[in-house]
Amino acid sequence: MELGSVTQSVTVEAGAPLIQATPQREGVFLSNEVRDLPLVALNPLSLARTLPGAVEPAGTFLYGRGAESSFSVNGQRFRANNYLLDSTENNDIAFSGIAQPFNIADAVEEVSVQTSNFGVEFGRAGGGIFNVVTKSGTNNLHGTLLWRYQSQLFNSVSNVDKMNRTPQSVFSRNVYGFTAGGPVLRDKTFFFGAFQQDTRRSTANFPLVVPTEATVGTLRSLFPANPRLDLYLNLLGTLRGTASPIGLQLGDDPVTGVNRGVVQFATAPLALSASNGGPQWLARLDHNLSEAHRLAFRYIYDSRTNAPITVYFPGFITDQAGQNQNFLFTDHYTFSPSWTNEFRFSYSRQSADEPERPSPQSVPLARTLPLTIIAHANSPGV
């Protein structure tokens, strides 16, 4: 057979990729994405971590107080962000960040994030605008059920706990809830409700730096019949330091001038029962006066107690509790396909224990004894 003539040719050329002139500057997460994607601390706003230009700022002072929704957007401070709940104010006036987290994922219609070129109805922010929109009822009766369980059985022991000989904390976390929505009057009035209980119980180990057994004997011999030492050791009880010892200098005797030497303090785990959690619920009613005129009423309530939050010394323990309420009224009227008017009224009420309060697990002296400072060691007082 003879070779045929060349009728086709393929040319391969290398070239630089085109620069994308209009990068993505905002994101909208719909209800199915909020429901199915993993959420940090169950907060739907944590999905903003996936957007370009939104990062968690290093060294934030929030220490878990809404830290899962604290973002630096395009290099701005996280104080420059604007947080909205159903398009109304939801900014913490004291610490910045979000005022009232809404963590019922099945009751979220969408989470929208704008990081630049804001619309004319938005202001205040130089960073990003974060808006959580709640669901409303429809003509079809629908609902969801939720149960989430966590336990130390699925966790490993950290290297720090191994070094300090701290036993693994035993805990269980149960998150359960439901949503339900449907018609009150078909095509006219709709209801939607949601409830979620988040409860975490544990036997937490709080590492305290306290004297060793040998140091207790040394202190009693050096300071016999000293009422302040007696108070310290009586409050200490049987707890003794055993891990990661450090030396503390006692200084010179003010009478004889003799140096009293160095004693050892060490880390000891203080095991306490701990709990953190509370309920959150939502109630919403939507009513259509006409095809052009719609009204909506929405109420959100949540409360949370964290106990203990700080352990200064055996019997000197603090808790923290707070509750939030948010009411919304919306009046929306459509004059024409290009002309609408929407009036929103929002009222929120937040209360929290600032500073922390003495825990019911504390001794009576925790309410009256001043805090004593001992460098590099734990001491009684709140």
Nearest Cα neighbor of 104 from 307, 287, 296, 298 is 298
Q: Which positions ≥6 away from 180 have C-beta within 8 Å?
A: 141, 142, 143, 192, 193, 194
How far is CA 257 from its chain centroid? 53
Same domain, 107 and 157: no
Is residue 194 classed exposed, middle or buried when 0-12, 13-18 and 19+ CB atoms within 10 A define those classes? Answer: buried
Same structural domain, 161 and 215: yes
In a domain, 14, yes or no: no
CA distance 188 to 368: 60
Same-domain pairing of 349 and 307: yes
Write out the two tokens for 72: 């630096």
Q: What is the pTM of this model?
A: 0.76
Q: What is the 3-state secondary structure (H, E, C) of 222-290?
A: HCCCCHHHHHHHHHHCCCCCCEEEEEEECCECCCCCCECCEEEEEEEEEEEEEEEEEEEEEEEEEEECC
Looking at the domain assignment, is residue 214 inside a domain? yes
CA torsion sign, 356 to 360 to 361 to 362?
A: positive
**What are the DSSP calls for 45-114, one per residue?**
GGGGGGSTTEEPPTT-TTTTSSGGG--EETT--GGG-EEEETTEE-B-TTT-SBSS----GGGEEEEEEE
Helix axes 213-222, 227-236, angle to 10 degrees: 160
Same domain for 77 and 168, yes or no, is no
16 in any annotated domain: no
Q: In the structure encoding, which two tokens stand for residue 301, read together?
A: 């309530």
**Strands of the sheet with 129-134, listed across from one edge:** 26-30, 108-114, 129-134, 82-85, 88-89
pLDDT of residue 23: 42
How many residues are listed for the chain in this entry? 382
Residue 10 within a domain: no
160 and 101 in a single domain? The answer is no
d(CA 199, CA 155): 18
Give bridge partners of residue 150 from the DSSP assignment: 173
Residue 228 burial (CB count, 10 A): 9
Omega before 245 within 30 of 0, i.e. cis: no
Q: Residues 162, 298: one domain?
A: yes
The Cα–Cα gap between 1 and 267 comes to 91
Residues 113, 167, single domain; the answer is: no
In a domain, 2, yes or no: no
Q: Which domain holds residue 268?
A: 138-382
Same domain, 249 and 306: yes
Residue finishing a domain among 119, 134, 149: 134
Distance CA 85, CA 89 (A): 7
pLDDT in the model for residue 22 = 45
Phi, psi of 153 (to 5 degrees): -60, -25
Count of domains for the chain: 2
φ/ψ (deg, to 5) at 263 = -120, 160
Give the residues across from 302 on adjacent strands. 280, 324
Asked if the structure places residue 15 within a domain, the reply is no
Q: How many CB atoms sit inside 10 A of residue 376's CB?
A: 9
Task: Tell me the CA distances in angstroms from 152 to 70, 157, 161, 324, one per residue in order.
Answer: 27, 9, 14, 30
Mark whether 142 and 124 lie in a shared domain.
Answer: no
The residue from 80, 114, 134 where one domain ends is: 134
* Residues 253 and 294 both lie in one domain: yes
pLDDT by position in tens, the chain (length 382): 788 777 777 777 766 655 554 444 468 888 888 888 888 888 898 888 888 888 877 655 554 445 556 788 888 888 888 999 999 999 888 777 888 889 999 999 999 988 887 777 777 778 889 999 999 999 999 999 999 999 988 888 888 888 877 777 788 999 999 999 999 999 999 999 999 999 999 888 889 999 999 999 999 988 888 999 999 999 999 999 988 889 988 888 888 888 888 899 999 989 888 899 999 999 999 999 999 999 999 999 999 998 898 899 999 999 988 899 999 999 999 999 899 999 999 999 988 776 678 888 899 998 899 888 888 899 998 8
Of the residues 112, 134, 156, which one is the last residue of a structural domain? 134
Is 13 part of a structural domain of the chain? Answer: no
Measured distance CA(143)–CA(268) in Å, rounded: 49
Kindly state whether residues 228 and 89 are assigned to the same domain.
no
Do both 89 and 148 map to the same domain? no
* 20 occurs within a structural domain: no
Task: Classify 31 as helix, strand or coil.
Answer: helix
CATH number at residue 61: 2.170.130.10
Identify the residue whose tokens are 């704008």: 114
Cα dihedral 121, 124, 127, 131 sign? negative
